[in-house]
Structure 1
Amino acid sequence: MFSVKVRPMARATVFALRGELDHHSAVQLAEAADAALAGPRLQPLLVIDCADLDFCDSTGISTLVTIHQRLSARGGVLRLAAVPGSVARVFGLTGLDQAIGVFATAQRALADTLHPPTGDIPSSAPAARERQVEGR
């Protein structure tokens, strides 16, 4: 069973994903993003916490890319956090981790002041920095 828990914060919104993000469940993530992007006061940062994400297929990746594009068009930034190994491998194979910043934890994604939300496509620097920190 898939779920999206939405947690609004002062300068960001966190989506905590649980279960399998696939062609059956991607609509739930898309609907949560639609609601977050439809509000008159868009948060500049959306962090998707993947700590409890078990699986992600091409439909899930497409949904994440669409959210990234829509958010960027409105001046916001999408960040991924706590991506489990099997899901991280898929993100790496597709290049998603090069287009969207990937952080070790949701707290790090929220606290990263070196790459504040600007609406630009994040470079791979945040992901590379997180991998280096985790590898120590």
Structure 2
Amino acid sequence: MGVRQDGQSMVLALRGELDYDSLEQLQEAGERELVTGRAGGPLVIDCAELAFCDSSGIGALLGLHQQMSAQSRALRLASVPASVARLLELTGLDQVLSVHPDVADALARDRQHPDAARTSDPAQPNQERRA
């Protein structure tokens, strides 16, 4: 798992599997970002190298989304593999989580709409999903 700062955003790159045995790394990285708030903007999860995600991984992403929302910050998923995208669709989380075709698109949203780095109401439906 790699972490880098890009302007006001943090990018967290997932690799391999996100399941019960590996979700602790995601949770720890998310907690570090929430506590330190180094960037203060959205957290982008790069899923390009994610090979597998089970329900516990989805639960960890949802939990991180809720924690970020509590701090008025956004969580964005980028480069989501088809199998994971299907899981998000089946669970309805594609309506909750912000999904982008790639990291550049997720980061560009802030450059196009500077106020979009923060999310004001996590209960509002996702208006920024892209196919």
- Aligned partner of 2:126 in structure 1 is 124
1:15-64 Cα deviation digits (max 9, x unpaired): 01010100000001000101111115452200001011011111101111
What is the number of equivalent residue pairs in this alignment?
Answer: 126
Spell out structure 1 runs of 4+ moving beyond 3 A.
none
Query: Displacement, 1:125?
Result: 2.9
- Aligned partner of 1:60 in structure 2 is 57
Q: 5+ unaligned residues in a row in structure 1: which ranges?
A: 132-136
- Aligned partner of 2:101 in structure 1 is 104
- Aligned partner of 2:89 in structure 1 is 92
Q: 1:40 to 1:92 in 2, by over 3 A?
A: closer
Query: Displacement, 1:118?
Result: 2.5
- CA distance in 1: counterparts of 2:88 and 2:62, whole angstroms: 11
- CA distance in 2: counterparts of 1:43 and 1:96, whole angstroms: 24
In structure 2, which of residues 35, 43, 48 is the aligned counterpart of residue 46 of structure 1?
Answer: 43
For 2:9, the aligned partner's letter is A
- CA distance in 1: counterparts of 2:66 and 2:2, whole angstroms: 21
1:28-43 equivalence runs, <5 A: 28-39=25-36, 41=38, 43=40
1:56-98 Cα deviation digits (max 9, x unpaired): 1111011111111111111100010000111110111111211
- CA distance in 2: counterparts of 1:40 and 1:92, whole angstroms: 30
Q: 5+ unaligned residues in a row in structure 2: which ranges?
A: none
For 1:92, the aligned partner's letter is E
Q: Is the 8 A contact 1:101 1:123 kept in 2?
A: no
- Aligned partner of 2:3 in structure 1 is 6
- CA distance in 1: counterparts of 2:12 and 2:39, whole angstroms: 14
Q: Is the 8 A contact 2:10 2:39 kept in 1?
A: no
Which secondary structure does the structure 2 equivalent of 1:125 belong to? coil
